[in-house]
């Protein structure tokens, strides 16, 4: 089992909205996120909120500010230095990774002992920095949202409309 709370990356929220749990199709997912946030089990950070470009996702984030805690940058240099020193990453990959919320999420989790939730898959030989690989290198737990849904026993019950 992973370490709670679970810290959601932008791609988990974006993919949920775009693919699996659209606001109008599965509002229970979004209600579940807020319920689990109140329980202290899931959250995200302001850097992720800033990456949400879709108007509906931004509206949800604005309506639920307590889901996003302030960024903890205490260990950001540790994350950044590891990415910069990793020779297999191209300079473009380093710049791309470091220019997003990804290193802030990992630094936040590293400092607080959280588990990062991401839809990225590990690719240890990739020339691109991936959240799971950076997490593994720095000893940060990570998992995908479906595993977290299962661990927290999320249940989205069908409501039949007349």
* Model confidence pLDDT, tens digit, residues 101-136: 999 999 999 999 999 999 999 988 889 999 999 999
> Cis bond leading into 118, ω under 30°?
no
Query: Residue 161 pLDDT more than 80?
Result: no
CATH number where 118 lies:
3.40.50.1010
By the 8 A CB rule, do 9 and 119 touch?
A: yes
* Residue 155, Ramachandran bin (φ over 0: left; ψ between -120 and 50: alpha; else beta): beta
| DSSP assignments along 39-72, one per residue | TTSEEEEHHHHHH--SHHHHHHHHH-GGGEEPP-
Q: Which domain holds residue 110?
A: 6-151
In a domain? residue 89: yes
pTM for the whole thing?
Answer: 0.92
- SS3 call for 6: strand
Query: Residue 33 pLDDT more than 90?
Result: yes
> Structural domain tally of the chain?
1
Query: Residue 1 pLDDT more than 70?
Result: no
């Amino acid at each position: 089992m992973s370490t709670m709370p679970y810290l959601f990356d932008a791609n988990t929220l974006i993919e949920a909205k775009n693919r699996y749990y659209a606001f109008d199709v599965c509002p229970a997912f979004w209600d579940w996120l807020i319920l689990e946030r109140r329980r202290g089990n899931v959250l995200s950070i302001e850097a992720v909120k800033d990456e949400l470009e879709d108007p509906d996702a931004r509206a949800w984030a604005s309506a639920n500010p307590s889901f996003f805690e302030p960024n903890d940058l205490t260990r950001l240099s540790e994350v950044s230095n590891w990415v910069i020193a990793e020779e297999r990453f191209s300079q473009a990959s380093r710049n791309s990774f470091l220019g997003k919320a990804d290193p802030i999420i990992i630094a936040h989790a590293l400092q607080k002992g959280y588990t990062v939730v991401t839809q990225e898959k590990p690719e240890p030989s990739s020339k691109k920095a991936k959240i799971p690989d950076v997490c593994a290198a720095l000893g940060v737990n990570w998992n995908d949202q479906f595993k977290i849904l299962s661990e927290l026993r999320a249940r989205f019950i069908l409501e039949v409309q007349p």
